[in-house]
Amino acid sequence: MLPLGSEIIIATRNKGKMKEFEPMFLRQGIAVRSLLDYPDLPDIVEDGHTFAANALIKARAIALKFGVPVVADDSGLCVDRLGGAPGVYSARYAGEPSDDAANNRKLLAELAKLEDSSPSAEPARLSPARFVCAIALVDRAGHPVAEVEGSCDGVIIDKPRGEHGFGYDPLFYIPELGRTMAELTVNEKNELSHRAQALGKLWEALSK
């Protein structure tokens, strides 16, 4: 287990992700920095074909750069009716630069195309989907310490709902709760999100 009081870098510039990651590490007494602390650092090329591969690529690159333990995640939305898309391309589904609103519009447009081509198809709002998060923790030399994955199941709705969260959260509806991910508080999301599931597995792995 990482010793209490140690410091790690979370390999992300995403403020939304940091709001989810940081409290979980601080509760363990671990100081946290992110790539937001290094604005001049160039982007890391994530050319893996899976979430797990991309997480490890990012973690290794940052660990070798700064010589500290690094946690990196790669996460995204997988929609069954789109063959698992947008998948590893979730952040830039609508192209560069990454734009959450544009990605959401493209997702709904792609699902609408399926409805147009098959009138008997279920509406987009019933499309089964899952958020997936792969997390890699490496030591200061870039060697893997733990690799885990978590997921959260839901369905896609046809209009954004909610003011919280980021990414596809406003379209990701959780039937058991009757709310989208963007309608949950940070604490609620930290209890059930794909990232929360993966972090739970990470602590479990480090406790052995």
Residue 2 lies in a domain: no
Q: Quick check: is 161 in a domain?
A: yes
Is residue 76 a known part of a binding site?
Answer: no
CATH assignment at residue 85: 3.90.950.10
User: Distance (Å, rounded) from C-alpha 130 to C-alpha 87?
Assistant: 10
Where in the sequence is the domain holding 44, given as residue range(s)?
Answer: 7-207
CA atoms within 13 A on the CB side of 60: 11
Which of the residues in the chain have pLDDT under 50?
A: 4
Tell me if 103 is assigned to a ligand binding site.
no
Is residue 121, in this structure, part of any structural domain at all? yes
pLDDT for position 124? 53
Is the residue at 22 inside a domain? Answer: yes
Domain for residue 136, yes or no? yes
- Give dist(CA 136, CA 143) in Å, integer: 10
| Residue 66 marked as a ligand binder | no
Catalytic residues: 74
164: exposed, middle or buried (Cβ count in 10 Å: 0-12, 13-18, 19+): middle
The pLDDT value given to residue 14: 85
Q: What CA–CA distance (Å, rounded) separates 55 from 65?
A: 16
Domain count, the chain: 1
Looking at residue 122, its pLDDT comes to 58
**pTM for this predicted structure:** 0.88
Check: CB of residue 152 under 8 Å from CB of residue 199. no
**Residue 1 within a domain:** no
Give 66-109 pLDDT, tens digit per residue: 999 999 999 999 999 999 999 999 999 999 888 999 999 999 99
